[in-house]
A and B are shown apart, each in its own frame.
Chain A
Amino acid sequence: MKAKFEYLAPASLDEACGLLQEHQGDAKLLAGGTALVMWLRMGLLSPGFVIDLERVPGLDGIDYDPADGLRIGASVKHRDLELCPAVREHYPLLRETFYKVAQPRIRLMATVGGNLSHGDPMTDPGASFMALDAEVTLRSSRGERTLSVEDFFVDYYETALEPDEILTSVRVPPPAGPAWSHVKFTPRSEEDFATVGVAVTMTGEGNRCDDVRIALNSVGPSIFRAHAAEDVLRGRELTPARLEEAGAAAAEASDPIEDVRGSSDYKRELAAVFVRRAVEQAAARLG
């Protein structure tokens, strides 16, 4: 981190947007710092300005309303989301996902907005937000826009955020039903990044799937929704053959890189296996 930057701590969202616009391209936002500080340290980023969001009011808080669903402020820490009673009760998929991120100390530091904005395909929450059909709100001096989490993730460490935009909140629709599952395969150690991660939400009855959303992380340049796998299952009986087929379709859509967690062939095979298992687990929760 030898390139020096100036530290700015705006006290309002408008001020933060103004600073980000003024220094566009040469500024990075700081939330929990668990990713940014490391990147600065390794020299992967060398901005002229670091804009701390901690003192910006209005970015915190988790609100739940049965009609509107859940609104999560960008500055909410992973740990606070995981422990929030409304999340535990109404969004067990989110509880489970955030509980599995890293370990308690990192979850005390890292924010929901920072996690998504980092655009790291290895991170877990994005897939679960996608499976829950969540939206993000992005704000800049030019105005505000909302887009689906699915459209937010673009490529390897690339999101839809423009250089002057701040992610302010995540909205999750009211829970559609009780069927969900989350699988995080971490063969090296429990608190590792996922070798493959799968999030599923499903509606249906008995063994019939009416609707399903499946999203994966760690097996592509971006977190993605496995549309083809969903199409295999939607409106159908969940037979073993269909589950196999859905797994294969998800694997087809994956594009994992080879790293310490395994070769890309290995991870592609895992994607098939864990999509099948995740769908089975979700189906077991159908009424």
Chain B
Amino acid sequence: MKREMVLNVNGEEHDVEITPDRLLLEALREDVGLTGTKEGCSIGVCGACSVIVDGRLVSACLTLAVTCEGKKIETIEGLARDGELHPLQRSFVQYGGFQCGICTPGQIMAAKALLDHNPTPSADQVKEWMSANLCRCTGYYKILESVMAVVEGKVDEERRDEAVRQARIQSLYQSDTYKSGASD
């Protein structure tokens, strides 16, 4: 039996009609239409589907959407404000915290959940926490560096030759998909 319910995602209320077996991951991507949250393993291992529910990091692939009624759900789409990227997003861009990008929404939501609770974790605490998010591309070091740059207030510092930086960002983001803000 489908039931109507409201999901509060990134401060906005979304009416959805779902069966109780609907995963939060499916509800977000298919019913709400926010495809930033990714599906990797579907069994809680990889962290690609990491979102924050009532302040707690969860795997959306192991969460039933019905259990989220009345709760605050945060996803990657809620991070940028007024066209300005969240410091974690800027940091991942500036410090090369991603390559293919499939794991990145999960990485950033995981890092956000940590920093929301503890804005000044040690590098070891970040490593331990982020161990729950797998990445097949970066070798992890740059993810650590990106998160630590936020912790240490080093985002937006001119750490590389500006021209090189611009070229890199352009080559990463010149597709139209990115400009329209949609991705999947």
Q: Which A residues lie at the B interface, using CB under 8 A?
A: 1, 4-7, 30, 33-34, 37-38, 40-41, 50, 52, 54, 102-106, 108-109, 190-191
Contacts and interface: CB of A to CB of B under 8 A. Distances in A.
B42 A41 contact: yes
A30 B44 contact: no
Interface residues of B, number: 25
Contacts of B78: none
Nearest to A5: B20
Contacts of B56: 108-109
A106 B129 CA distance: 11
A1 B59 CA distance: 17
A34 to B, nearest CB: 5
Interface of B: 1, 19-21, 23, 42-44, 47, 50, 56-59, 62-64, 66-67, 110, 128-129, 131-133
Contacts of B59: 34, 105-106, 109
18 contacts: A1-B21, A4-B1, A4-B19, A7-B64, A30-B64, A34-B44, A37-B64, A41-B42, A50-B64, A103-B131, A105-B133, A106-B59, A108-B57, A108-B58, A109-B44, A109-B56, A109-B63, A191-B132
Nearest to A37: B62
Identify whether the interface residues of A are mostly helix, strand, loop, or mixed: mixed
Contact of B58 (A1, A103, A105): A105
Contact of B57 (A34, A37, A104): A104
Contact of B63 (A4, A37, A50, A102): A37
A6 B63 contact: no
B162 to A, nearest CB: 37
Contacts of B20: 4-7, 50
B62 A191 contact: no
3 tightest CB-CB pairs across the interface, nearest first? A103-B132, A7-B20, A105-B132
